[in-house]
Amino acid sequence: MASSEKENGPAALDDWKHEQEPLAPSTPTDTATLSSEGLKPEVKEREQWTNKIDFLLACIGFSVGLGNVWRFPFLCYRNGGGAFLIPYFIAVLLGGIPMFFLEVSLGQFMSEGGIGTWKICPLFQGIGYASAVLVFLLNCEYNIILTWAFHYLFSSFTSVLPWSNCDNEWNTPNCHVDHRQMSNTLNATVNATTSYNISTDVRTTVASITVMATNVTESLSSGKITDPVTEYWERRVLRLSDGVGEPGNIQWDLCLCLLLAWIVVYFCIWKGIRSSGKVMYFTATSPYVLMFILLIRGLTLEGAADGLRFYLVPDFSRLQDPQVWVDAGTQIFFSYSIALGTLTALGSYNRFNHNSYRDTVLFAIVNSFTSVLAGLVIFSILGFMANRQGVSVAEVAESGPGLAFIAYPEAVSQMPIAPFWSCLFFAMVILLGLDSQFVGVEGFITFVVDLYPAIFRKGYRREILIGIVCFVCFLIGLSMVTEGGMYVFQLFDYYSASRIVLVVAFFECVVVSYVYGIGRYQDNLEMMFGFRVPTVFKCLWMVLTPIFTMTIFIMGAVTYSELIYDRKFIRYEYPKWAIQVGWTMAMCSVICIPVVFGFRLFRQEGSISKRFLEAIKPTLKKHHLRIGEDLNKVNLVSEHESYPDIDSMLPGSVMQLEGKTIYMQNNEFDA
């Protein structure tokens, strides 16, 4: 090397270091750096939560949503009432809390979203890609629920709810407001006729009973007796076709509601977490105000006690059914939003020393409290409706969209000042779903931006990216606002993320515990929090949680049945090709894990064992290292993500930096 080159080396190195000075976190706009390439925009600093409470509210807003309102209460009454709380809280302890803490702490430790987080073990970075696919599919589906809720909310601004009577253009001649009473009356008439005719003419009795029973059965099974709420849902809102193979036309009123939902989502997150965090103060807390108002109203209605009794009275014999435990496990993973990568994205915006351990406990309490509270709200109203109609609560209880858009609208239509209570309920549904939706989109955006920070953290590129993602999801969502859209929605809901999250969660635990090293990760947590996390989490992550997740997955696979759409009076069985489409959606996420695994091994050199050891080396920064860390077992990078760590170079080592060769000689840098 020429002496003149050596003399210029340190100066060139100082110039490079000066050019890489980061922006101050408070800088709101782009600056420019003068380099050999001229004036170019500076890469923006990664954002952080403004206040500690922002992170907790974001987690609550994302995970505490419609599943707590329309899925938990139904599972509770179907699986033994209060007895269901036993497997539910066991699932919380074995699955919910440890997985939630693992994901948010991983994001906080690495300060990157779902894909970048798994730089702790690049060989299994497919976990991050699988989570990105899962949350993208969920984002496409979830906003359809907000679309329906917006439609019902706008339809509630009237003096008479349109689903409260049968006098509308979409109603059929078979529509009856008192459809359940008619059924009971017919059955009572049959019984009365039987009692009377037995003492007069046996032959006439048998003939009369047969005819009347046949008429009743045919009327109910063929859908001859329908109700205005179901007809409004199926004939006015959905305009359901005969099957998934008949998509029909786009429903333009739903299309506009879908567009509105995506516009709202875009403007909630387009300025990043500093703005969305402020939105969360309203969207995450106001549903609780509305729920308490609805609960107070429900408890004052006649029949509310019957509904609550039906909801909470335990039936311990149901605990012998394996499906009860499967329902408890899947409900926890659904309501905690495990394995979607969004929790790691939210955790990545925490400061390095933030106490996310405390937030995990608080989140678990709020989540379970919300589920129980929602059940009280729902079943007090359903008890009132059952009392008014003279039927059992079991006959009016629904799950999923059937609860939000059939059972509850029917209940509020029978209350005084029905439009007001309807507006209140659907406003609550929208607020519960909205923060879940826009935080989910924020999580996906974080995946992409952290993957290509030099591209998307400049100018308004992030805002443009959000707009593109929202538009693509809107286009996919159009398939769910056609006449056959409900069938497509059911496919997304049943296959895209339901049981696959259990597989992803299993891999997360195994990789952190046995590949990255549970001892190393416990040390990392102590570096962040300043205290040692209880040893019970080591036992959970290494043994109990992986066994729990895989057991629930296997039990769910054993009891698996192909998708069936149960309408009010019709059971629709999906064709084989539609089932294959559903399984394709399910596999397109989890397949990322073995694909990335094989790709990482292929890129390495040497024997299989050497390739494996190289591929599992974590890619860390200086502040991630423990005291006495073996640097031969890590890939050390600069705090500036795009550049290698030149300060860590050993004597005699060489690297390329911006077209220059950097040498380390006698603990000094030469260029």
- DSSP string computed for 525-578: HHHHHSSPPPTHHHHIIIIIHHHHHHHHHHHHHHT----EEE-SS-EEEPPHHH
Q: What is the DSSP letter of 349?
A: T
Give how far the C-alpha of residue 513 lies from the chain's centroid of Cα atoms, to the nearest Å.
25
Q: Give the C-alpha separation, 148 to 66, whole Å.
A: 13
Tell me the pLDDT of the chain averaged across its residues.
81
Per-residue pLDDT at 19 = 41
Per-residue pLDDT at 351 = 92
Residue 68 annotated in ligand binding: yes
User: pLDDT digit string (tens) for 280-295?
Assistant: 888 888 889 988 998 9
Q: Give the C-alpha separation, 271 to 249, whole Å.
A: 36
Domain ranges of the chain: 52-168+231-593, 608-642
Per-residue pLDDT at 657 = 37
Per-residue pLDDT at 640 = 58
User: Smallest Cα–Cα separation from 537: which of 521, 552, 554, 555?
Assistant: 521
Name the pTM for this structure: 0.82
The packing angle between helices 126-155 and 418-451, to 10°, is 160
Residue 98 · residue 545 · CB < 8 Å? yes
Provide CB contacts within 8 A for 114, sequence distance 6+. 107, 128, 131, 132, 135, 341, 342, 344, 345, 443, 446, 447
Q: What is the DSSP letter of 236?
A: I
Per-residue pLDDT at 399 = 64
Residue 436 annotated in ligand binding: yes
Residue type at 346 in one-letter notation: L
- In CATH terms, is domain 52-168+231-593 a member of 1.20.1740? yes
Residue 191 annotated in ligand binding: no
Q: Please list the residues that pair with 482 across neighbouring strands.
A: 250
Compute the C-alpha angle 452/456/462, nearest 5°: 135
Where are the alpha helices (H) located in 390-517, listed in sequence order? 393-396, 401-402, 408-413, 418-451, 453-456, 461-477, 485-495, 500-510
Phi/psi at 50 (nearest 5 deg)? -70, -45
The 3-class secondary structure across 597-665, one letter per residue, is HHHHHHHCCCCHHHHHHHHCCCEECHHHCCCCCCHHHCEEECCCCCCECHHHCCCCCEEEECCEEEEEE
Residue 367 annotated in ligand binding: yes
Phi/psi at 35 (nearest 5 deg)? -130, -175
Low-confidence ranges of the chain (pLDDT < 50): 1-40, 186, 189-223, 642-671
Q: Give the C-alpha separation, 110 to 620, whole Å.
A: 8
